Amino acid sequence: MTRNGKLAEDNIVNSIIGEGSDFKGEFKINGLLRIDGNFQGTIETDGKVLIGQSGSAVTDIKARLVVVGGSVRGNIFATERVIFLSTGVIKGNIITPSLIMEEGVKFEGNCTINKKIDGIQ
């Protein structure tokens, strides 16, 4: 699929955990997962994971693109990019080829910028 096709797919929410919701389990999906509530478990997708400002996740995430505006406790493995918004709170390790971090992020852990990530996907 072309890069433009991927950009269009990034805007389609396949699954959402709404604000005020609690979910425990394992997500293996294609496409975008948005978390605005509380999630505990594992996430694996070839698409995008978005943790909204009100979202909280205790999880290991394997995805192409991860955007964090809320709270994440766990490890993040992204094949393309990780973006931390200024409201993000992250406690865990990150492995990704590209990292964008806005001013104000709270991050505790290790980060490895690695252009080739083995073992993901």
76-96: per-residue pLDDT in tens?
Answer: 999 999 999 999 999 999 999
pTM: 0.85
Q: What does the pLDDT average to over 94-118?
A: 90
Assigned domain for 121 exists: no
Domain that holds residue 65: 3-113
Residue 102's identity, in one-letter code, is: E
Residue 64 covered by a domain: yes
Specify if 32 maps to a domain.
yes
CB 115 within 8 A of CB 96: no
Within a domain: residue 76?
yes
Q: How many domains does the chain have?
A: 1
In a domain? residue 53: yes
Does residue 88 form part of some domain? yes
119 within some domain: no
Average pLDDT over residues 1-15: 58
> How far, CA to CA in Å, does 8 sit from each of 1, 55, 71, 75, 109?
11, 24, 26, 27, 32
Output the average pLDDT for the chain: 88
